[in-house]
Structure 1
Amino acid sequence: MRQINKSVLRVLLILSFVIGLSFLSIVLMGRLQDARAVAQDSYQYLEVFNQAVDIIQKRYVKEVDVKDIYYGAIQGILSKLDPHSVHLPPDAFKDMKIDISGEFGGIGIEVGMRDGALMVISPIEDTPAWRAGIKAGDFIVKINGESTEGISLNDAVHKMRGKKGTAVTLSIMRQGWVEPKDFTIVRDIIRIKSVKKAELIDGKFGYIRLVTFNMTTGDEMRQAMENLIGKAGGKLSGLILDIRWNPGGPLDQAVETADLFVSEGPIVSIKGRIPEDNKVIYAQKPNTYIGFPMIVIVNAGSASASEIVAACLQDTGRALILGTKTYGKGSVQSLFTLKDGSGIKLTTAYYYTPSGRSIQAEGITPDVEVEELSPEQEALLEKERQRQEEWRFGEEKLPRYIPHEEVLPGGTVEKEPGLEKPEAKKKTFEEEIMSDYQLRRAVELLKGWEVFQAQMKKASAK
C-alpha cells in the first residue's frame, strides 16, 4: 500500500512539474511574442522614417544637411512628449553643463514653452535681464527681430546667449499690453551665486535670499546659516527664506537645502516608469538647524527645485509658506549623452512631496497668501494710472503729426540737456523691508510669533 502511495506521489510531482514548466513556457512565449511584435512595429516605423529621410535628401528643393534632418527628427519626437524634454546639440549640451556649474554667458533668464509660446519663467536676480525689467510670465515674441513662433527651446536659448558686451533685442508681450515692446539687453558673463543676501533683522531674525540652485547651493546655504547664527550670538529667533523668482536647478541641491532644516522623514519621493528611477530621499538628522520658527516666501517665479524645498518645509510643518502660488513644475529631468556629443534632457520621473501630493501644473498654495503689493500700494498705483491716462495728451496723439526724428539732422535723436534720469540711490536693507510688502508681512509674523511665545510662557508660569 505504501509502495502504491509513493508511486502516486511521484506521478503527481512529475505532473505538477510538467504543468508548471508548460505554464512557464506559455508565459515566456507570450512575452517573446510581445517583444517580437514591438520589435516588428519599431522596424516597420523605422523603415517609414528612413524612407521619408531618403525622399527629403533626394527630392527637397535644395540640399539639406543630413545632420539637420536627424537632429530635427529627434527634437520633433521629444517636442511631442512635454515642454521640458529636448535634444541638445553638442555645444548646447556643453552649455547646459556649464549652467549647472553656476557660470555662463548670456542675459540671465529661465525660459520655457507655454502652449507653444516662448515664456519667461523667471529672470535671475541682478542679471542684465532682471535690470532691464523682464518679468516672469512675459512672452518673448521675437529675438533680434525674428519671430519665436515654432522655435525650439534650445534654439531660443542659443539665440539669447552670446559674448559679453554684445546685445540682443527681445520683443516682449506682457499681460495688459496692447502690443509688444522691445528690450535691448547687453549680454554679460553670468556668475550666479545661489545666496544673494544673508542679513540679520533686529539682531536676531535671519533673512536669506536664495535666487537659484547650482552645484554650490547646499554649501552656500550652510555657510550663510553659520554666519547669521554667529552674528546673532549663537542663536536665531527666526528665519525667513526668500525663494521668490528662483527658477530651480539640480534636484540634489534642493534636497541638501531642505535637509538643513528637517531632521527626519522623507524630503521628496521620485517615481518614474522603471524601478531604477523610483526612490524616496530622507532627511539626515546631523547638522540640522531647528529650534526656531521659519517662513518661506514664494511667488509665481518659484519653480522646480524651489518648489521641492517649499513643499517639504510646508508638509513637515517646519515652515510657514507666505506669498503667492508657485509655478507648478513637478517633473524630474535626466541628462543622457549621445555618441556624437549631443545630449537629451528627458523627463524621466515625477516628484511628490512628503505628504504624497504632486504640484505638477498646480503649484504650491501658500499658507498665508500675500500679494506683491499691499492694498494701499495697489490703490495708489491704479490711481496714478488713471491720472496719467486722463491727463496725458501730447503732440504725437494729433492726426498727421510730424515725428521728432524728421526734425533732427540725419534723423538722430538727441537728449535734452538736464533731463537725464538720476541714478537711483541704493536702498538700505531696512528700507527694502518697508517697501517689500511680502517681506514686511513675513517679518511681522515672526515678531508676532515671538511675542505670542513670550506671553504663553508668562501664562504658564502663573
Structure 2
Amino acid sequence: VGGRSLPEVNARENVQGLYEELKTFTDVLALVERDYVRPVESQELVKGAIKGMLATLDPHSGYLDPDFYKDLQVQTKGEFGGLGIEITIKDGLLVVVSPMESSPAAKAGILPGDAIVKIEGKYTKEYSLVDAVKKLRGPKGSPIKISVQREGIDGLIDVVIIRDKITVTSVRSRYLNDGYGYIRLNQFVEKSADDIKSGLAKIRSVAPNGKIKGLVLDLRNNPGGLLTQAVRISDMFLEDGVIVYTDGRVETQKQKFFAHARGTEPSYPIVVIVNGGSASAAEIVSGALKDHGRGLILGTQTFGKGSVQTITPLDNGGALTLTTALYYTKSGRSLQAKGVEPDIIVEETKPKDIKGGKHVEYSRYREADLPGAIKNPSVSGGSDDKIKEMNKIESEETDIISINPETVDLNEWYRRDVQMSKAVELLKTFNIFTGQKIEDITKKLIEQSS
C-alpha cells in the first residue's frame, strides 16, 4: 500500500518515546541543579541515575566506579584486602552469603544469612553493594565495627573485626586413608584448576600405588568466580559432552563448553558436597557432574545464581556489569533461582552463636529471595516435593567453618561434620559394586536413598 511496514512504525515510535523520556530526565536534572537546597555535582547526579536505572534490572547488574572496578580485577587474581565475606542485598539490607574460609569475618563468627545492619554505627539500609564494599575494606590491621542481625537472636550483635590482606587459598587437599582423597574448593580464581591438579598429585603421592580410590569434592560456601575455571575443573572429570551452555539475546552470548578426553582423571567415584552457599561457578561444576552421572551430589540445595554477567569497561575507568545470559546444564536445566538439587539431602550442621557458644538455627538467603531476581525459565513444578521426599539425615550441631581440613583429626572431623562423614561412607559403598561403571553405580545409590 505504499506506507511503512509495521516494524518500522514500531521502531520509530520506540525512538520517539525514548527521546521524550530522556528530555524528562534532562528537565529533572536541570531543576535539581538550579533549585535544590544546596549545590550538587552533576557527575554525582548522573552516577546516581545510572545506578538507579540498573537497579530496576536484577541484583547482579550494576555500575562499577573506577576504584571498585580496580579492586574487582585484583580480587579475581586471588588477593585483596578486607573482611573476606561475600555479600548481597535483600529487602534493602546487606546480607552475608558466606564468609571465606579462615577469613577475618569467619574467625570473628560471622555466619551465612547474617544481615549487616550497621557499619561503624551507621545504618546500611540505603547502601548499594559498591558502597558497602568501600566501607568494609580498609588498611590491613585496621579495626571495623559491624552490627549484625541474626535470625533467632534478639537485638543486634556488635562485632569488631580486624581487616587483613585476604589471600584466597582456593584449594585445600587431604589424604583420607584407604586410597580416598578430599579436595575443598573455596572460590574460582585464576589458578584454581592448576591448584586442584596439584592437590590431586599430592593425594596420589601418598595413596597406595599412587592411585586415588575415590574423591570428596567439597564446594560448600563457595560463592563462585571465573567461568573459565569452572569449565576447566569440570573437564578434568568428564571425557566428552556439554559441560554447560549459555543462552542470551545476542549471538555472542550463545556459547557451549565441551569436555575433552585429553587430561581426564581416571574414573574413580566422586561425591560432591554442596550447600546454600554454593553459587554460580560452584553450581556449574556440581550441575555438570550430576548431569553426566560422574558425581553423586550430597548436601542441601545450592544458591541458584544461574546468570552470566558481562563486564564492559567504560571510558571513565569504571565498568558496567550487565546480566546478558543464563547458564544451562547438559540436560537443558537452568540453574537460575533454582540451583542444583542434591541427590542425597544431608542437612547442614548448626553453627555456634558468637555470644556464649550456644548453637543457633540460621536460614540462608538464596537467589530466588533477592529483589528483582530473574525467574527460572524452565521450572515445571513438583521439584520442591521431590526434594522433600529425598533421604534426609539429621546432623549433629557444630560449625563446619571452624574445621581446617588439612590439620583436623579425621575421626574428630567425621564426628563434627556429618555431611563429610556421609560422603566418605558413600565413597566406600562404591566398592561393593565391582566391575560396574561409575555412572551406573551412582544411579543405583541415588535410587536406594530416595
* Inter-CA distance 117–337: structure 2 relative to 1 (3 Å threshold): same
Cα distance in 1, alignment partners of residues 409 and 10 from structure 2? 68
Out of 174, 179, 183, which is 1:204 matched to? 179
Matched, 1:350 2:326: yes
Matched, 1:442 2:417: no
Cα distance in 1, alignment partners of residues 90 and 227 from structure 2? 23
Higher RCO (C-alpha 8 Å, min separation 6): 2
**Runs of 4+ off more than 4 Å:** none
Quick one: which amino acid aligns to residue 240 of structure 2? E
Cα distance in 2, alignment partners of residues 455 and 116 from structure 1? 52
Deviation at 1:208, TM superposition (A): 0.3
Cα distance in 2, alignment partners of residues 307 and 297 from structure 1? 11
Matched, 1:228 2:209: no
Quick one: which amino acid aligns to residue 155 of structure 1? D
Out of 5, 8, 12, which is 1:36 matched to? 12
**Contact 1:84–1:112, Cα closer than 8 Å, also in 2:** no
Gaps of 5+ in 2: 353-357, 361-402, 438-450
Partner residue of 2:26? 50
Deviation at 1:55, TM superposition (A): 0.7
Query: SS of 1:346's equivalent?
Result: strand
The alignment of Structure 1 onto Structure 2 pairs a total of residues equal to 387
Out of 234, 245, 251, which is 2:227 matched to? 251
Quick one: which amino acid aligns to residue 88 of structure 2? G
Which runs of structure 2 are paired with 1:116-127 in the superposition (5 Å)?
116-127=92-103
Query: SS of 1:453's equivalent?
Result: coil
Query: SS of 1:260's equivalent?
Result: helix
- Tell me the TM-score normalized by structure 2: 0.82
Quick one: which amino acid aligns to residue 130 of structure 1? A
* Inter-CA distance 226–171: structure 2 relative to 1 (3 Å threshold): same
Deviation at 1:338, TM superposition (A): 1.2
Deviation at 1:31, TM superposition (A): 4.0
Cα distance in 1, alignment partners of residues 324 and 303 from structure 2? 20
Partner residue of 1:6? none
Deviation at 1:39, TM superposition (A): 2.0
Partner residue of 2:255? 279
Cα distance in 2, alignment partners of residues 178 and 364 from structure 1? 33
The structure with the larger Rg is: 1
Partner residue of 1:157? 133
Matched, 1:301 2:277: yes
Tell me which moved more, 34-43 or 362-371: 34-43
Which runs of structure 2 are paired with 1:98-137 in the superposition (5 Å)?
98-137=74-113
Cα distance in 2, alignment partners of residues 57 and 83 from structure 1? 30
Deviation at 1:332, TM superposition (A): 0.9
Query: SS of 1:101's equivalent?
Result: coil
Quick one: which amino acid aligns to residue 276 of structure 1? T
Cα distance in 1, alignment partners of residues 282 and 344 from structure 2? 17
Cα distance in 2, alignment partners of residues 98 and 439 from structure 1? 33
**Contact 1:86–1:153, Cα closer than 8 Å, also in 2:** no
Query: SS of 2:210's equivalent?
Result: coil
Tell me the alpha carbon deviations over residues 63-101 of structure 1, each in whole angstroms, 9 at most, x when there is no partner.
111111111011001111111111111001111111111
Tell me the alpha carbon deviations over residues 412-457 of structure 1, each in whole angstroms, 9 at most, x when there is no partner.
xxxxxxxxxxxx997334432332111011111111222443899x
Matched, 1:239 2:220: no
Tell me which moved more, 315-324 or 220-229: 220-229
Cα distance in 1, alignment partners of residues 408 and 296 from structure 2? 27
Query: SS of 2:148's equivalent?
Result: strand
Cα distance in 1, alignment partners of residues 286 and 155 from structure 2? 36
Cα distance in 2, alignment partners of residues 56 and 91 from structure 1? 27
Cα distance in 1, alignment partners of residues 244 and 15 from structure 2? 36
Quick one: which amino acid aligns to residue 99 of structure 1? Q
Partner residue of 2:388? none
Query: SS of 2:246's equivalent?
Result: strand
Partner residue of 1:408? none
Matched, 1:68 2:49: no
Matched, 1:341 2:317: yes
Out of 173, 176, 193, which is 2:149 matched to? 173
Cα distance in 2, alignment partners of residues 385 and 183 from structure 1? 18
Deviation at 1:32, TM superposition (A): 3.8
Cα distance in 2, alignment partners of residues 429 and 214 from structure 1? 28
Tell me which moved more, 430-439 or 73-82: 430-439
Gaps of 5+ in 1: 1-21, 379-383, 387-423, 457-462
Tell me the alpha carbon deviations over residues 276-302 of structure 1, each in whole angstroms, 9 at most, x when there is no partner.
111111111110113211000011111
Cα distance in 2, alignment partners of residues 455 and 62 from structure 1? 76
Cα distance in 1, alignment partners of residues 127 and 198 from structure 2? 41
Tell me the alpha carbon deviations over residues 149-197 of structure 1, each in whole angstroms, 9 at most, x when there is no partner.
12111101111111101111111111111212011111001111210x2
Tell me which moved more, 181-190 or 354-363: 354-363
Partner residue of 1:406? none
**Contact 1:100–1:249, Cα closer than 8 Å, also in 2:** yes
Query: SS of 2:80's equivalent?
Result: strand
Structure with the higher fraction of residues in helix conformation: 1
Deviation at 1:145, TM superposition (A): 1.0
Query: SS of 1:281's equivalent?
Result: strand
Query: SS of 1:249's equivalent?
Result: coil
Cα distance in 2, alignment partners of residues 385 and 82 from structure 1? 35
Cα distance in 2, alignment partners of residues 324 and 53 from structure 1? 49
Query: SS of 1:312's equivalent?
Result: helix
- Tell me the TM-score normalized by structure 1: 0.79
Cα distance in 1, alignment partners of residues 254 and 332 from structure 2? 14
Cα distance in 1, alignment partners of residues 359 and 193 from structure 2? 43
* Inter-CA distance 305–41: structure 2 relative to 1 (3 Å threshold): same
RMSD: 2.4
Cα distance in 2, alignment partners of residues 430 and 100 from structure 1? 35
Tell me the alpha carbon deviations over residues 280-327 of structure 1, each in whole angstroms, 9 at most, x when there is no partner.
111111101132110000111111110111111111100000111111
* Inter-CA distance 170–212: structure 2 relative to 1 (3 Å threshold): same
Query: SS of 2:434's equivalent?
Result: helix
Cα distance in 2, alignment partners of residues 455 and 56 from structure 1? 73
Cα distance in 1, alignment partners of residues 359 and 257 from structure 2? 50
Which runs of structure 2 are paired with 1:214-225 in the superposition (5 Å)?
214-225=189-200
Deviation at 1:268, TM superposition (A): 0.6
